[in-house]
Amino acid sequence: MGKISINIKSGKIAKQSDVIIGIDLGTTNSLVAYIHENKPIAVKGKDGKSTLVPSIIHFAPENEIVVGEAAKLKLIEEPHNTIYSVKRLMGKSYNDLSEIQSYLGYKILDEDTDSLVKINVQDKYYTPIELSAEILKELKKRIEEELEATVSKAVITVPAYFNDAQRQATRDAGKLAGLDVLRIVNEPTAASLAYGFDKLAEDAQTIAVYDLGGGTFDISILKIDNGIFEVLSTNGDTFLGGDDFDKAILDYWYKTYDIKATSLETDRSFAQALRLAAERAKKALSSTESFSETVHNIDLSLDIETFETQIKSLVNRTITACQSALSDAKLKAIDIDHVIMVGGSTRVPAVKKAVANFFNQEVYDKLDPDEVVALGAAIQADILAGNQKEMLLLDITPLSLGIETVGGLMDTIIPRNSKVPIKAGRNYTTSVDGQKNLKIGVYQGERDLVEHNRKLGEFILSGIPPMPAGLPKIEIQFIINADGILKVKAMELRSDIETEIEIRSQYGISEEDMAKMLMDSIQNAEGDMKQRALLEARNEANNIILATNKFLVQNDSILSEEEKSQIKKLHQSLKETVAGTDKDAINKAMEILNEYSAPLAHRAMDANIQASLKGTKL
């Protein structure tokens, strides 16, 4: 198996493996697994210690990037340079972030817009995609060391509730890490595959997957019928997990040993030591009755009864979510055939007891709860590789389908390998005041710029009533029927106008050309991503430049001369950066302009409200 190829960068001859790898890209920990002698195994690092790679990225001096255990050690010491929980930011815009911001120790560029978030480290700006790609690169390195060969194909898991944008972001991260992502699989589906529930019975089965990780809790109810998975309902809490158990222990210790908040703030290494001890205590109590240890001269101890009392309300919250998931699926506990335990925190005996109690049956916990999702991903990968002949492969789209957006960027609407028939859509708007027509170019391919992809067709949505830029609501829908015919529809929702085209040629491409397109997309991923980041930054900046122009005209009387000239100055420097090719400089200039003008915008808004109140009195 495998072929010999030459690494383009190093010139070294490397063995290339045909293995498709399975990846669990977690909020707290990530893992990579593959099928070895017909069995899925998770891969350990060179030190042979653990299969888990903490999903933490540390920026050391000189922009050196460290991922995993070594990065975790820097978490408390250097919070600004150490990024965790990046999965929470995948596919999110600033407007989605209100609840997350206070939870993170690093800086997120705050623009109060619909654009996707960026993370500021030192003088650089990173997207969650780029950061996730660093974690994926680490996993790729790990398995390549194990196999002594390069790998290029992967299956990556995501939570069942991830939306299109979050799934696409995960695919893009894979691409950037040099991986062709053959499929995105739901985490609970992967866990069920690991237990082999897809081949257990002739009849349809209903499965509950209880996943309690480090910072998140998910409960999913799945139906499996003839090897096909359907998600019946999902529920959970995106801010509830093992970290909260640690915090409950810390709070108890603070009270019991009279530890003052001030001593924690001034002595970070003390705070870090306590936090790590709390996690050790929790883990110890998963297999013993009591824990004791001396940290900075304090004799800490904790017994299992006290621990269970401290976490009781947290565990109860997960059970309430299970109840909601059942009622959303219109089911009762008795309808569930199997309950699977996933996530490191399900090792806590009190958790297992509560779940078994609620579903009134023994839970499945034989497989390592940390690994079970990655193992299932490896099995899915093996099915895709065609190694499990009894599994059926459904009709899928061979290449991604999407449209051209501002700057010549490809916006994927149906990702490659999607099951057919399928319907997917996305909303757009105009970029110019009074715009009447919108040209829609339909493309196929994996590259970030449409010029590198294959054009399938083009049409114009005309007759959009004149409105200010950004106001029209244009929905673009892609529908592929069971015969593989693609229909693209564009609708302006405020005025009800619509147009559509039918495209029959999406499969008129040879296997060879397709393979070449895929290869190109991986080889150019880094350059493409840079170009995309620059075009997107320019785009955002151009919107801000237009908005600032409007703002200056509309609020001329409210602003002082000095404010006006300062805004104009910052506005001018933003324009200059847009003319250049440095995305970080554009982002920085936007940030400075935003910071300066935000309070002025608030004042202007207050003044406008005052004015309209006066107006109503007349």
Which stretch in 14-22, 26-34, 80-88, 603-611 sits in contact with Mg ion by CB under 5 A?
26-34
Residue in 111, 144, 237, 370 binding ligand ADP, rule: CB under 6 A? 370
Q: Report the residue number, 91 or 415, with the smaller CB distance to ligand ADP.
A: 91
Residue 402 touches Mg ion, criterion: CB under 5 A: no
Q: How far is the CB of 204 from ligand ADP (least distance, A)?
A: 28
C-beta contacts of 96-105 below 8 A and 24+ residues apart: 99/239, 103/239, 105/75, 105/79, 105/80
Q: Report the residue number, 211 or 448, with the smaller CB distance to Mg ion.
A: 211
Q: How far is the CB of 265 from ligand ADP (least distance, A)?
A: 24
370 counts as catalytic: no
Pairing of strands 338-342, 205-212: parallel
Q: Report the residue number, 229 or 307, with the smaller CB distance to ligand ADP.
A: 307
Residue in 22, 26, 68, 159 binding Mg ion, rule: CB under 5 A? 26
Residue 215 touches Mg ion, criterion: CB under 5 A: no
Residue 213 touches ligand ADP, criterion: CB under 6 A: yes
N residues, the chain: 618
Q: How far is the CB of 159 from ligand ADP (least distance, A)?
A: 9
Q: Report the residue number, 135 or 514, with the smaller CB distance to ligand ADP.
A: 135
29 binds, among Mg ion, ligand ADP, none (CB under 5 to 8 A by kind): ligand ADP
Residue in 128, 174, 343, 472 binding ligand ADP, rule: CB under 6 A? 343
Residue 282 touches ligand ADP, criterion: CB under 6 A: yes
* Pairwise CA distance, residues 476 & 128, whole Å: 26
In DSSP notation, 502-562 reads: EE-GGG-S-HHHHHHHHHHHHHTHHHHHHHHHHHHHHHHHHHHHHHHHHHHHHTTTTS-HH
Residue in 40, 159, 188, 213 binding Mg ion, rule: CB under 5 A? 213
- Among 111, 134, 180, 187, the active-site one is 187
192 binds, among Mg ion, ligand ADP, none (CB under 5 to 8 A by kind): none
Residue 214 touches ligand ADP, criterion: CB under 6 A: yes
24 counts as catalytic: yes
* Pairwise CA distance, residues 382 & 454, whole Å: 30
225 counts as catalytic: no
Q: Taking a C-beta distance cutoff of 8 angstroms, is the pair 378, 367 a contact?
A: no
Q: Is 188 left (phi over 0), alpha (psi -120 to 50) or beta?
A: alpha
Q: Taking a C-beta distance cutoff of 8 angstroms, is the pair 438, 490 a contact?
A: yes
Which stretch in 90-98, 209-217, 513-521, 571-579 sits in contact with Mg ion by CB under 5 A?
209-217
Q: How far is the CB of 344 from Mg ion (least distance, A)?
A: 8
348 binds, among ligand ADP, Mg ion, none (CB under 5 to 8 A by kind): ligand ADP
Token digits of residue 462: 């005309």
Cis omega (within 30 of 0) on the bond before 369? no
Cβ count within 10 A of residue 132: 26
Q: How many Cα atoms sit within 13 Å of 231 on the Cβ side?
A: 18
Residue 521 touches ligand ADP, criterion: CB under 6 A: no
- Among 87, 140, 352, 583, the active-site one is 87
Q: Report the residue number, 302 or 348, with the smaller CB distance to Mg ion.
A: 348
Residue 318 touches ligand ADP, criterion: CB under 6 A: no
Residue 22 touches Mg ion, criterion: CB under 5 A: no
Which stretch in 59-67, 91-99, 278-286, 571-579 sits in contact with ligand ADP by CB under 6 A?
278-286
- Among 130, 134, 180, 211, the active-site one is 211
74 counts as catalytic: no
- Beta strands (DSSP E) in 322-471 are 338-342, 401-405, 409-414, 422-428, 438-444, 454-461
Q: What is the maximum span of the chain, computed from C-alpha positions, in angstroms?
A: 84
Q: Report the residue number, 128 or 213, with the smaller CB distance to ligand ADP.
A: 213
For the chain, counts of helices (H) and of strands (E): 14, 28
Site string (8-47) toward ligand ADP, x via CB under 6 A? ------------------xxxx------------------
40 binds, among Mg ion, ligand ADP, none (CB under 5 to 8 A by kind): none
Token digits of residue 356: 């078994």
CA angle 127, 132, 137 (to 5 degrees): 125
Residue 72 touches ligand ADP, criterion: CB under 6 A: no
Q: Please tell me what DSSP assigns to residue 11.
A: -
* Pairwise CA distance, residues 282 & 300, whole Å: 13
Residue in 111, 180, 198, 243 binding ligand ADP, rule: CB under 6 A? 243
**Which uninterrupted H or E stretch holds 298?**
strand 298-303
Residue 159 touches ligand ADP, criterion: CB under 6 A: no
Q: Report the residue number, 281 or 589, with the smaller CB distance to ligand ADP.
A: 281
Q: Report the residue number, 216 or 380, with the smaller CB distance to ligand ADP.
A: 216
282 binds, among ligand ADP, Mg ion, none (CB under 5 to 8 A by kind): ligand ADP
Tokens 């705070």 correspond to what residue?
Answer: 271
> Per 3-state DSSP, what percentage of the chain is helix, strand, and coil (rounded to 5)?
40, 25, 30
377 binds, among Mg ion, ligand ADP, none (CB under 5 to 8 A by kind): none
188 binds, among ligand ADP, Mg ion, none (CB under 5 to 8 A by kind): none
* Pairwise CA distance, residues 239 & 241, whole Å: 7
Residue in 272, 286, 290, 524 binding ligand ADP, rule: CB under 6 A? 286
Pairing of strands 64-67, 57-60: antiparallel
Token digits of residue 155: 């299956």
Q: How far is the CB of 371 from Mg ion (least distance, A)?
A: 10
Compute CA distances 435 → 362, 462, 468, whole Å.
62, 9, 8
Site residues for ligand ADP per CB under 6 A? 26-29, 213-216, 241-243, 279, 282-283, 286, 343-345, 347-348, 370
Q: Which residues are known to be catalytic? A: 24, 87, 187, 211
